[in-house]
Amino acid sequence: QVQLVESGGGSVQAGGSLRLSCVASGDTYSRYCMGWFRQVPGKEREGVARITSVGSRSILDSVEGRFTISQDNAKRTLYLQMNSLKPEDTAMYYCAADLDPPPYRCRGKGPTTFSYRGQGTQVTVSS
């Protein structure tokens, strides 16, 4: 199992930036897919970005060019750099993880259906 703790959320004006961090602890032997999803009350979860255990990235079309997912394996930390934020990016952001067996494609899953997630960090963007 893996435990995930997010940080870095906050309130910013449109056009601003935030960097979310997610520290993973627990299982240090298995390969994991990591990712971020977001959720607004009353709406479905939306996958934002994903990175496989071999570093292949995918990102939501509406944030491509503004958001970047990255990780520091030595620190067991996942990041989401968010630039040019828009009011529609306002949501609770969750870090998520799932096992990533060969062929290391997250078993076709997106972060909204990963097995493990953190407690979330709120991002609020005002116009």
Angle made by CA atoms 31, 114, 110, in degrees to the nearest 5: 95
pLDDT tens-place string over residues 22-76: 999 998 778 999 999 999 999 999 999 999 999 999 999 999 999 999 999 888 9
Containing 96, the helix (H) or strand (E) segment is: strand 91-99
Report the Cα 7 to chain-centroid distance in Å.
11
For the purposes of burial, counting CB atoms within 10 Å of the CB of 44, is it exposed (0-12), middle (13-18) or buried (19 or more)? exposed
Average pLDDT on 3-32 reads: 95
Instruction: Specify the pLDDT at position 10.
Output: 97
Question: Is 80 exceeded by the pLDDT of residue 106?
Answer: yes
Q: Please give the Cα distance from 87 to 32 (Å, whole number).
A: 31
Instruction: Give residue 29's pLDDT.
Output: 78
